[in-house]
Amino acid sequence: MNTKVLPGSGESESKTNPLHLPSVDRLLADTALAQQADQIGRALVKRAVQQTLAQARESIARGGAAPTEAQLIGQAQRLAQQQTVSRLPKVINLTGTVIHTNLGRALLSEEAIASVVSAMRGYNALEFDIDSGGRGDRDDVIEDLICRLTGAEAATVVNNCAAAVLLALVALGARKEVIISRGEQIEIGGAFRMPDIMRAANCKLVEVGTTNRTHLRDYQEAISEKASLIVKAHRSNYAVTGFTAEVGDAELAALAKQAGIFYMVDLGSGALVDMSQWGLPREPLPSDALSKGADVVMFSGDKLLGGPQAGIIVGSRAAISRIKKHPLKRALRVSKLVLAALEATLRVYDSDHHIAERLPVLAMLSKQRDVIRAACERVAPMLARHAGDAFEMRIADCASQIGSGALPEERLPSAAVVLTPKSENRRNGALLNKTLASFRKLPTPVIGRISDDAIVFDCRCLSPADEQLLREQLQ
């Protein structure tokens, strides 16, 4: 290490410092640390030096040997470097789940990325009417597009679908009764529970029917003077099968209309186009519920839609204008970056031109098994080498998930690199976990899963760019 001997060190140092550790300033004067400070900032390096000295003092107090100055400098350098590493690192998703909430959900189209970059760099007409030079409304950026794509009269956008549900409940149902089937008291990952949201929105929850069966007469009997809304929540992350009954949108919309109240549908995922054109199961469209008479329908921007995190609310002019006027709308509104990404994503749908190639979510969901298998074959040797000799590698058919509650029962035919512990290591959970963790410790972490006592890397979500990164760090 490049340790300078400074005047005033030695004797006087040991007197002022009973633990015989060098001072912060003395360590900061070291050439290597000074160079690092020039690169990443003196404050970070200083904090790392202070942490290093504190750790050393603790270790000495526990009876450990005093570290040398070179050791202290090395440790401070490492700590300082660690502080420059993002806590939101890019990862390579080999879980097979396309809309993975824990890994950031939808990847954006190139159009959306370019639009966000441009919105970050310069001013834009977020709430400015270019024609008149007067004030505009940020919903104007996307309202026409959304209406055209869903057939709605009006639309607005908030931070996410949970916010959309909350805002609609507050604006349309606060202090009134809100009717919902017992079969739809949903909980979505991340502590979004319908009864809790209703309470937060100050709505009085009126549950009707039973867990497996709810009939029109259940809703009819529940409607009182105090009713304001009938709510339907899409069962996005579970299925009710067997002896079941639920009431359709058309009947509920008609009932609400007759009673002079609103009918609201929380779709959750909500695709804008019929997914069956790519061989995927059909997810309900907002236009389905609207054409059957729903007053308000909400869905996520970053699930099947393939855009940024957002909650899109569509519906009748009467319902949407009440929602827009509520003060909470201001608190839940989206940023210009989200609007930029959402507008560009919606324009892809509006063009109806190569949608499945331009939107990564649709591209990955519609990827055929033979294409995924070919990717598995290209990366399998690298993955096997990194896992080491304790594993046998094979490429096998598997099924991937859409994710984020969309089409919960559906699995997509896929292929994976499967690493199975050799017979002498079988039933060794620790080995599986340790090896999976070693993939997460790579410079760009690789995320797989454990299934049936094997490590499974499903290559559905492996983009050409990610494959290149994988190659660079594993070869």
Task: Give me the residues that bind ligand PLP (CB under 6 A), please.
Answer: 160-162, 165, 188, 192, 233-234, 236, 266, 268-269, 300, 311, 404-405
Residue that the structure tokens 């609007």 belong to: 339
Residue among 351, 381, 339 at smallest CA distance from 467: 381
Which CB, 236 or 420, lies closer to ligand PLP?
236
Residue 208 one-letter amino acid? V
- Kindly state the tokens that stand for 89: 């690192």
At 421, phi and psi to the nearest 5?
-60, 135
Shortest approach of ligand PLP to residue 156 CB, angstroms?
15
Shortest approach of ligand PLP to residue 458 CB, angstroms?
22
Shortest approach of ligand PLP to residue 254 CB, angstroms?
23
Which CB, 53 or 332, lies closer to ligand PLP?
332
Residue among 97, 166, 93 at smallest CA distance from 406: 97
The SS3 call for residue 295 is coil
Which CB, 97 or 404, lies closer to ligand PLP?
404
Which CB, 56 or 312, lies closer to ligand PLP?
312
Distances (CA, A) of 163 to 88, 330, 363, 402, 433: 24, 12, 28, 23, 37
Shortest approach of ligand PLP to residue 223 CB, angstroms?
23
Shortest approach of ligand PLP to residue 209 CB, angstroms?
18
Which CB, 95 or 236, lies closer to ligand PLP?
236
Query: What sign has the CA pseudo-torsion 12, 18, 22, 25?
Result: negative
Shortest approach of ligand PLP to residue 281 CB, angstroms?
15
Which CB, 244 or 444, lies closer to ligand PLP?
244
Shortest approach of ligand PLP to residue 304 CB, angstroms?
10
For residues 209 and 415, what is the distance between their CA atoms, to the nearest angstrom? 42
Alpha helices in 223-301 (DSSP H): 249-259, 286-291
Which CB, 125 or 200, lies closer to ligand PLP?
200
* Residue with smallest beta-carbon separation from ligand PLP: 268
User: CA torsion, points 9, 14, 17, 19, in degrees to nearest 10?
Assistant: 130
- What phi-psi label fits residue 405: left (phi over 0), alpha (psi between -120 and 50 degrees) or beta? left
